[in-house]
Structure 1
Amino acid sequence: MAKIVVFDEYGGPEVLRLAEIPDPEPGAAQVRIRVRAAGVQPIDCATRRGDLATYRPLPFPIRLGNEVAGVVDRVGEGVTGFAAGDEVIAFLSLQGYAEAVVVPAGQVARKPEKMSWAEAGVLTASGQTACTALDELRVGPADTLLVHAAAGGVGSYAVQLAAVRGARVIGTASERNHDYLRSLGATPVSYGPGLADRVRAAAPQGITCALDAIGGEALDVSLELLGVPDRIVTIADWARSAKLGIRRISSERTVAKLDDLTRLWSEGRLRIEVADSIPLSRAADAHRLVESGHVRGKVALVVD
């Protein structure tokens, strides 16, 4: 039997509960992974609250989790690239909060030996979302990119990946995270009234593109600074972005992108910030932490 996290009604973190299911069996072209760590994303919290129920109705009980790291313990028919005992990272949909998962082999990459389980567990979803956003914006050496919520999960990756592409980065964050953003290669500016003027002061030549990971005022500020929405994207605030004509993106996840992320980590050019590692049985506490709005990087659920 394998423990999983589910919820039977929309609500606060307290609706999350542990359940048990028979160990899933891999089918053709699939592998079974004994999970060691799973990432917790803001979208997991939004799903639990029911924020997305209109857009994505799901039958109860609902599971959560879109990224895991663990050890392959069984492979399905036709799988040749992996074997029992391999340490891997995988992307999946609504099943990562679990002791064991079954994943198509085409969604699995090898974990670098020296990468911790928590780091591996929080890499793929936010890392690949950041990659997708930078691709959509066509970020390159001539750009000055504004990243809103730059100390968060997607923001932290976007800052570093934009720097790898040669761009200059301005990142919004609370003052307690300014030194952290500098360590990642960004010029930090504080949230709040007067944000547009602070960005102009930090980038006198202007910004050329913007990635929003928080919504609300950040979208209006981005549009004020750029004038048109062509090179603005957001991963938040569906309603506001639609009114402003700003593209809302979701991650286009591939093993090739995941391999690029692990390569950059191995080369010392990508830092993975884990705010906390919390046992699977305390998934509600992990959600409370993410919803506090004070997380630097990502939160991991760990399975001992």
Structure 2
Amino acid sequence: MLRIRHEVNGGPEALFAEEADTPAAGAGELLVRVEAIGVTLPTVRKVREGSEPVPFGGEVAGTVVVIGPGVTGFRAGERVTGLCFTDAYAEYAVLPTTMTSRIPADASAVEAVALVRSGLVACGAYESARVEPGESVLVTAAASAVGTLALQYAKTGGAKRVVAAVSSADKAGFVRGLGADEVVLYGDADWNGPYDVILDGAGGDLLGPAVRALATGGRLVAFSSGGGTVEAYELLVRGASVIGFQIRAIATGKPELYERWLRELWQLRAAGTLRTVVHEEIPLAEAAHALIEQRRNLGKVVLVP
């Protein structure tokens, strides 16, 4: 099968295609013939920052071809989507059943990888913030795959003011089209705050300004892989809080909640309340991270075998 690997010292030019053996499904796993692969920022960061080659992880959608030992509830021929933690950039991938779900008959594989993981993170971050009707919400990295869905959650969830924070002014029209009432740039003073809630998908050096943009009693939900440092004093003077969110912890620790969010995602999609945005479909053999490295993507970047 075709598989994408990378060399050390990161960057888009470090990706290369190779032939590899088809993996085997182990206990609690499914072997899937891949139809679409979602490119995620954490994976891009692994390539850029890693000191040695690591397998590409990511969202995968396709058709089940082999059921691993001990697996119940799935069968060969079903279309599924889930997270692959080893070699997702390939024609065949192994998915743990704990992070895998079925795709509705009327949805494509590309739509599934654009909706499920990003939507679960957006939904979970929004619920973690406990947004009250009439509150203001700022979404950072608002043009990203998660950000586009977080904006829609905030807009339809009762927030009075929904603001998108982006890296460049040329993204303003795009995020307004997804429901943002206002748009701020990361370089703007105080980000036009304060805000009751900030859903932060950026992290890193932007985490400090985000905390300073919180209102008294505000909540910031951090779900980015970008890290960052929070000064306790900034929280103290605002009586504010920072909440960390990770979807894998929910899938493994609270499976009932994970399943509820999954059902709600597809219901919202069917009702037209949530819509996915795919920036580009890239052939697997031409896999590249340039769009995300340069923060040029508007929505999801998808690889297609």
> Which residue of structure 1 aligns with residue 179 of structure 2?
185
Q: TM-score, normalised by structure 2?
A: 0.83
Picking from 261, 276, 280, the partner of 1:272 is 276
The farther-off stretch of 171-180 and 154-163 is: 171-180
Cα gap change, 1:281/1:225 in structure 2, threshold over 3 Å: closer, same or farther?
Answer: same
Percent of residue pairs identical: 34
Q: Is 2:267 aligned against 1:263?
A: yes
Cα gap change, 1:22/1:49 in structure 2, threshold over 3 Å: closer, same or farther?
Answer: same
RMSD: 2.6
> Which residue of structure 1 aligns with residue 169 of structure 2?
175
> Which residue of structure 2 aligns with residue 250 of structure 1?
246
SS at match of 2:213: helix
SS at match of 2:164: strand
Q: Is 2:42 aligned against 1:43?
A: yes
Distance across 2 between alignment mates of 1:272 and 1:290 = 17
Question: For residues 1-304 of structure 1, what are the structure 2 equivalents within 5 Å?
Answer: 2-50=1-49, 61-168=53-160, 169-173=162-166, 174-196=168-190, 199-200=192-193, 206-215=194-203, 218-226=206-214, 231-234=219-222, 235=224, 237-241=226-230, 246-252=242-248, 254=251, 255-256=258-259, 257-284=261-288, 287-303=289-305
The farther-off stretch of 230-239 and 137-146 is: 230-239
Note the C-alpha offset of 1:195.
4.0
Distance across 2 between alignment mates of 1:239 and 1:217 = 6
Cα gap change, 1:5/1:218 in structure 2, threshold over 3 Å: closer, same or farther?
Answer: same
Distance across 2 between alignment mates of 1:282 and 1:229 = 47
> Which residue of structure 2 aligns with residue 56 of structure 1?
none
Distance across 2 between alignment mates of 1:236 and 1:106 = 21
The farther-off stretch of 248-257 and 156-165 is: 248-257
Distance across 2 between alignment mates of 1:16 and 1:70 = 23
CA contact (8 A) 2:163 2:184 kept: no
SS at match of 2:281: strand
Amino acid at match of 2:176: R
CA contact (8 A) 2:195 2:215 kept: no
Distance across 2 between alignment mates of 1:152 and 1:99 = 25
> Which residue of structure 1 aligns with residue 254 of structure 2?
none
Cα gap change, 1:105/1:230 in structure 2, threshold over 3 Å: closer, same or farther?
Answer: same
Give the gaps of 5 or more residues in structure 2.
Answer: 236-241, 252-257
Distance across 2 between alignment mates of 1:14 and 1:81 = 41
Note the C-alpha offset of 1:100.
0.8
Cα gap change, 1:214/1:9 in structure 2, threshold over 3 Å: closer, same or farther?
Answer: same
Note the C-alpha offset of 1:217.
6.2
SS at match of 2:153: helix
Amino acid at match of 1:73: V
Note the C-alpha offset of 1:192.
4.7
Number of residue pairs the alignment of both structures matches: 287
Amino acid at match of 2:149: Y
Distance across 1 between alignment mates of 2:187 and 2:155 = 27
Note the C-alpha offset of 1:24.
1.8
Distance across 1 between alignment mates of 2:97 and 2:187 = 48
SS at match of 2:229: helix
Give the gaps of 5 or more residues in structure 1.
Answer: 54-59, 201-205
Distance across 2 between alignment mates of 1:191 and 1:275 = 21
Q: TM-score, normalised by structure 1?
A: 0.83
Note the C-alpha offset of 1:43.
1.3
